Amino acid sequence: MFKIGEFSKVSNITVRTLRHYEKVGLLLPSKVDQQSGYRYYKAEQLGVLNQIKLLQQVGLSLESIKEILRSQDLSVLNYYYELREQEIHLELETLNAKKQLVEELKKQLKEGVSMEKYNVVKKQLAVRNVMSIRKVIPSFSDEGQLWNKLYLEAQKQQVKFSNQPSGISIYHDKEYQEANVDVEVQSEVIGKYKDTEEATFFEAPAVEIASVTFHGSFDQMSLVSQALATWIDANGYKISGPMMNISHVSPAEDPNPDHWINEVAFVVEKN
């Protein structure tokens, strides 16, 4: 058997880490001398230790590793592998979003950014017949699920959509929310249809809006919002209704962010 210091050398694991593994019940010494308190390990424990190191490398927690070692069940191991795979997928999405933001910032630094790029227009959003689904969803990234649901409901009644830019997202929360957001998706329709459990059909009233139409990804949203706020303040208007996004070329139509065209708007009225 090996003393803890010797075992540390042959395993390339610090004594401090070995003591921590013992404390959490992950890897116990083979023997503890009751008089001296010395810890002793066996050579065959290196196999367990190597398995621990491998599972840590894929990002599994010590608690998960402990459960895997305790069960020695392949189905349990597969469950944790699949769970970690899903977590890595989400981490990659987050990293890709950060990468795109860095690329956009570099582009802005190179080209220079002017508020004149974001032209604010005041106009009336006319009365229109719409199909609507409104729900509280976990996050803004889940908005696509509402659109999918809307189009599935439309197929049931063979709903005919207008040729006008038909996709309007309305954000009803009175303040910014990071989670559990109140979102409505609307599409302008031609004709009359019956409400379903998921969707309603109604005449949306005319509203005055201040809007900015921009090309590209939503990484520009902070600048778009700044341009809108500056215009609203400078021209004696106030926000009197929800924020909207009118989609002219959406991610569903073209996966390339460079080709997206969106119009962000606030419902406004004179002070």
Rounded mean pLDDT, 47-65: 92
What pLDDT, in 10s, does the model give residues 169-196? 999 999 999 899 999 999 999 999 999 9
What pLDDT, in 10s, does the model give residues 71-84? 878 888 899 999 99
Largest CA distance in the chain: 89
- Specify the CATH number for the domain of residue 200: 3.20.80.10
Contact 22, 32 (CB under 8 A): no
The confidence score (pLDDT) of residue 195 equals 96
Do residues 162 and 239 both lie within one domain?
yes
Sheet with 2-3: strands ordered across: 2-3, 39-41, 31-32
Do residues 46 and 174 both lie within one domain?
no
| 3-state SS class at 12 | coil
Distance CA 266, CA 271 (A): 15
What pLDDT, in 10s, does the model give residues 130-153? 999 999 999 998 999 999 999 999
Res. 166: pLDDT tops 90: no
Tokens of 2: 């090996």
Rounded mean pLDDT, 5-28: 94
Show the beta-strand stretches assigned E in the chain: 2-3, 31-32, 39-41, 120-125, 128-137, 160-161, 167-171, 181-190, 200-204, 207-215, 237-249, 261-270
Tokens of 75: 């189905």
Last residue of a domain, one of 26, 59, 76: 76
Q: How far is CA 211 from CA 85, 171, 262, in A?
A: 41, 15, 10
Contact 124, 170 (CB under 8 A): no
Q: Give the structural domain span for 33.
A: 2-76
Neighbours of 191 (CB within 10 A): 10
Do residues 19 and 123 both lie within one domain?
no
Do residues 251 and 137 both lie within one domain?
yes
Do residues 142 and 218 both lie within one domain?
yes
Q: Which residue has the higher pLDDT, 165 or 214?
A: 214
Rounded mean pLDDT, 250-270: 91
Last residue of a domain, one of 48, 76, 104: 76
Do residues 188 and 244 both lie within one domain?
yes
Distance CA 59, CA 87 (A): 9
Res. 112: pLDDT tops 70: no
- Specify the CATH number for the domain of residue 53: 1.10.1660.10
> What is the amino acid identity at position 247?
S
The confidence score (pLDDT) of residue 157 equals 92
User: How many domains, the chain?
Assistant: 2
Distance CA 55, CA 49 (A): 10
- Whether residue 30 lies inside any domain: the answer is yes
Last residue of a domain, one of 55, 76, 97: 76
Identify the weakest region by mean pLDDT among 42-51, 88-97, 98-107: 98-107
Tokens of 109: 């630094």
Do residues 52 and 137 both lie within one domain?
no
Contacts of 187 (CB under 8 A, 6+ apart): 130, 131, 150, 154, 161, 162, 166, 167, 168
Q: Identify any residues that bridge with 182 across adjacent strands, giving them in sequence order.
A: 136
Do residues 128 and 38 both lie within one domain?
no
